[in-house]
Amino acid sequence: MTDHALEVRHLTKTYGSRTVVDDVSFVVQRGRVVGLLGPNGAGKSTTLKTIVGLAAPTDGEALIDGMPFARLSHPSAHIGVQMDGFGFELGISARRHLEIVRLAVGAPRARIDEVLHEVGLVADARRRVKTFSTGMVQRLGLATALIGSPRTLVLDEPANGLDPDGIRWLRRYLRAFADAGGSVLVSSHQLAELEHTADDLVILNRRVLYAGPLGGLVRGDGVSLEDRYFELVEGSRA
């Protein structure tokens, strides 16, 4: 088994004459949390969609456990996905939603209660999704990603709508998931939160501006991740 849970190799994505991702390469190692950062329009969501098979690359490739998503025999056992803006059927309960997902991916029935417990939705499992707060919907999205017991998580803005307690819970959950040998690629606009969560960072603005350990940017010299981030992004626009 490769040491890389995810590997993006020279990924390029164009729409007509517009290049939204340009020769992007990075890896996500096992047992690591990798933060994906960049301004709006930087290609973060496109990169994530390409990794999980929702968009086809114009050039390059994305590998999960050494294989493209389309070649995985049981994708949900390899990778769990939570995409920002994913829609739920609002008229059904959280439990019913997870039952549908469980059947689709072939997970055991017991997994429903396990993921509800993991994300803190046991007491609300029979409520209709339309009654959920934004933060509760985010937790349900994470439960959906976890239903297949994946080794890797790909999460697009999972902290959106979470209150401070929820953000702290998410940080601890992702850290524990990685410490147990899992891998996480998480896209976020919350630089300060990633500074407390991520082992490694990938900063994009259509192309890679930085890919490496958090300590390669934040060196204890009093300069924050936010300062380093804006230095790189503004430099890429020059």
Detail the DSSP E strand segments found in the chain: 4-15, 18-29, 33-37, 59-64, 79-82, 152-156, 183-187, 200-205, 207-213
pLDDT per position as a tens digit, 118-149 = 999 999 999 999 999 988 998 999 999 999 99
pLDDT per position as a tens digit, 183-233 = 999 998 888 888 889 999 999 999 999 999 998 988 777 788 898 999 999
**Average pLDDT over the chain, rounded to an integer:** 92
**What distance in Å separates the CA atoms of residue 148 and residue 113, rounded to the nearest whole number?**
13
pTM given for the model? 0.93
For the chain, the structural domain boundaries read 4-237
In the predicted model, is pLDDT for residue 65 greater than 80? yes
* CB 139, CB 120: distance < 8 Å: yes
- Cα–Cα distances (Å) from 64 to 61, 167, 175, 197, in that order, read 10, 27, 20, 22
pLDDT attached to residue 232 = 93
Give the model's confidence band at 238: pLDDT under 50 very low, under 70 low, under 90 confident, else very high: low
* CB 23, CB 12: distance < 8 Å: yes
CATH of domain 4-237: 3.40.50.300
Give the model's confidence band at 175: pLDDT under 50 very low, under 70 low, under 90 confident, else very high: very high
Where helices occur in 57-201 by DSSP H, the ranges are 75-78, 94-105, 110-119, 134-146, 164-179, 191-197
Give the model's confidence band at 85: pLDDT under 50 very low, under 70 low, under 90 confident, else very high: low
Q: What percent of the chain has pLDDT over 90?
A: 73
pLDDT per position as a tens digit, 6-55 = 999 999 999 999 999 999 999 999 999 999 999 998 999 999 999 999 99
**What distance in Å separates the CA atoms of residue 8 and residue 47, rounded to the nearest whole number?**
9
pLDDT attached to residue 12 = 97
Mean pLDDT of all residues in 156-166: 88
Which three-class secondary structure state does DSSP give residue 24?
strand
**What distance in Å separates the CA atoms of residue 112 and residue 94, rounded to the nearest whole number?**
10
In the predicted model, is pLDDT for residue 56 greater than 70? yes
In the predicted model, is pLDDT for residue 1 greater than 60? no
* CB 156, CB 83: distance < 8 Å: yes
Residues 6 or more apart from 39 whose CB is under 8 A from it? 205, 233
Mean pLDDT of all residues in 89-109: 93
In the predicted model, is pLDDT for residue 237 greater than 90? no
